Structure 1
Amino acid sequence: MILVIEDDPRIQKALYRQFTTEGYDVTLASDGIEGLNSCKTLKPAGVVLDLMLPGLSGLEVCKGIKSWSATTPVVVLSAVSEVADKVLLLEMGADDYVTKPFSPRELLARVQAAIRRTQRPVSNQKISFGNVTADFSGMVITKDGAPVTLTAHEIKLLQYFVENADRVITREELLSDVWHYTSYPTTRTVDNHIMKLRQKLETDPAHPVYFRTMHGIGYKFVRGS
């Protein structure tokens, strides 16, 4: 089931037709509060979320959805096209971003791709390194046995590092594979997220053992023994 959170009746109608034609059940919500409540109640396979909504902004709805269910795919739909807004949304956990005017078929393809990514089997559902244990099936991270709160993209980044352990990964690759950027604006997104992972998971963040900087190239996750 696809949840469409959009206040424009014309867009609602177009998306309802597009998704139902492809065999999806579709639920429509016309404001942010209704949309967030519907997401929690219905547990959709994917969410199409307008950025400019009455009641509660798309930014807040996205943040609310991801804090409740980090794996629910959210594709944002908006007339706002500034790079800064895209970066903010992606940092808050949005899986993709489509700018109005748009092709319903393109949006369908983006939503389907986001759903496939979240349904991809994880090679290591539960792993440990040092005093940290990560259970990706339950999205639970602990350090010294105590829960550690990570944002949706911090978990995605950690999972990507685990799946690519001991391999040097460029910032551009991380922006493409974790944030799904198709271009690479000047941004500190990757560096800021890795800094947060170090602060939360390293014993000494100033001298990281697991999340290592490869100067001039990118980063490498070293799980250790």
Structure 2
Amino acid sequence: MKVKILLAEDDPDFGMILKQYLELEDFEVSWFQNPQDILDHLEVSDFPFHLGILDIMMPNIDGFSLAKIILKEKSNFPLLFLTAKNQKIDRLTGLKIGADDYINKPCDPEELVLRIKNILKRTLSTTLEKNVKIGEYFLDTEKLMLFHEKESIRLTIREQKLLLYLLDYNKKTIKRNDILDSLWETNDYFSGRSLDVFISRLRKYFQHDPKIKIQSLRGVGFEIDFPIN
């Protein structure tokens, strides 16, 4: 499975160079010169990208504003900022928004690839495993589909991220606050209620296999038991 990269860069020459180099490194690149075109993808539940590379200085929508819009809909989406400026304020702004990394233009393509791979190791190592067998179920992470002989379920991006996070802690107890901090990036009443809704959905999705358990531990979090084949 190829890593799908969203590239937002309005400079046609630099954008083409980055796209071609990243494709030589076996990444699948969708290049957008107009950041407005990216917003159309946010309206679709199947957001097909694993990582975004955003130029900060773009017309109509700058990279910071675009990042805020993306993260509002696709929380925890890995982002790397590109900028021609070398100012401290840019770096701080990007980090506050939620950037995973930051690199100045013109950048060394080899350094960019290294940074991308480091981000993927930190954030997407599990999600890049395309097929996961969970008890009587089969998860296709590329298509966001959960299959059982009795039904097929299309997952949202966040449902799959939560499921994969739980799989990382299989047979263990997960603290509620850790999930909120990692996937919701906030820990308030409303995010807590949202987490409860998503947990209820997952329990319903796995109702056909009684061996699969997502047990609530009052005041602590959840105890997970997924039979992995």
Tell me if both proteins adopt one fold, taking TM over 0.5 as the criterion: yes
1:24 to 22, 25, 45: 22
The yes-or-no answer on 1:95 pairing with 2:66 is no
Correspondence for 1:79 among 40, 46, 64: 64
1:79 Cα deviation after fit: 2.0
Q: Partners in 2 of 1:154 and 1:83 — Cα distance?
A: 21
**Aligned counterpart, 1:134:** 138
Taking a change above 3 Å as real, the CA distance of residues 222 and 170 of structure 1, as seen in their structure-2 partners, is same
Q: Is residue 2:23 matched to residue 1:67?
A: no
CA, structure 1 residues 184+113, in 2 after alignment: closer, same or farther (shift >3 Å)?
A: farther
Matched position secondary structure for 1:67 = coil
Contact 1:96/1:114 (8 A) holds in 2: yes
Distance 1:224 1:95, change over 3 A: same
Which of 175, 192, 197 is residue 192 of structure 1 equivalent to? Answer: 197
Counterpart of 1:168? 173
The count of residues paired between Structure 1 and Structure 2 equals 185
| 2:87 counterpart residue number | none
Aligned partners of 1:8 and 1:63: how far apart in 2?
22
Between the aligned partners of 1:16 and 1:47, the Cα distance in structure 2 is 11
C-alpha RMSD of matched pairs (Å): 4.5
- Percent of counterpart pairs with the same letter? 13
Query: Compared with structure 1, are the counterparts of its residues 89 and 4 closer, same or farther at alpha carbon in structure 2 (3 Å cutoff)?
Result: closer
Shift of 1:8: 3.2
Q: Supply the distance in 2 between the matched residues of 1:134 and 1:175 (Cα, whole angstroms).
A: 26
Alignment of 1:30-41 (within 5 A): none
Distance 1:60-1:193 versus aligned 2 partners, 3 A rule: farther
Q: How many angstroms apart in 2 are the aligned matches of 1:96 and 1:76? A: 9
Contact 2:5 2:30 in 1 (8 A): yes
Whether the 8 Å contact between 1:125 and 1:135 is mirrored in structure 2 is yes
Q: Secondary structure at the match of 1:134?
A: strand
TM-score after normalising by structure 1: 0.56
Corresponding residue of 1:158: 163
- Could you say if the C-alpha distance between residues 151 and 127 of structure 1 is closer, same or farther in structure 2, counting changes exceeding 3 Å? same
Counterpart in the other structure of 1:29: none
Separation of aligned partners in 1, 2:15 and 2:67: 24
Greater shift, 101-110 or 141-150, is seen at 101-110
The answer to whether the 8 A contact 2:134-2:227 is kept is no
Asked whether the 8 Å contact 1:161–1:221 carries over to 2, the reply is yes
Distance 1:175 1:49 in 2: 32
CA distance in 2, matches of 1:53, 1:84: 11
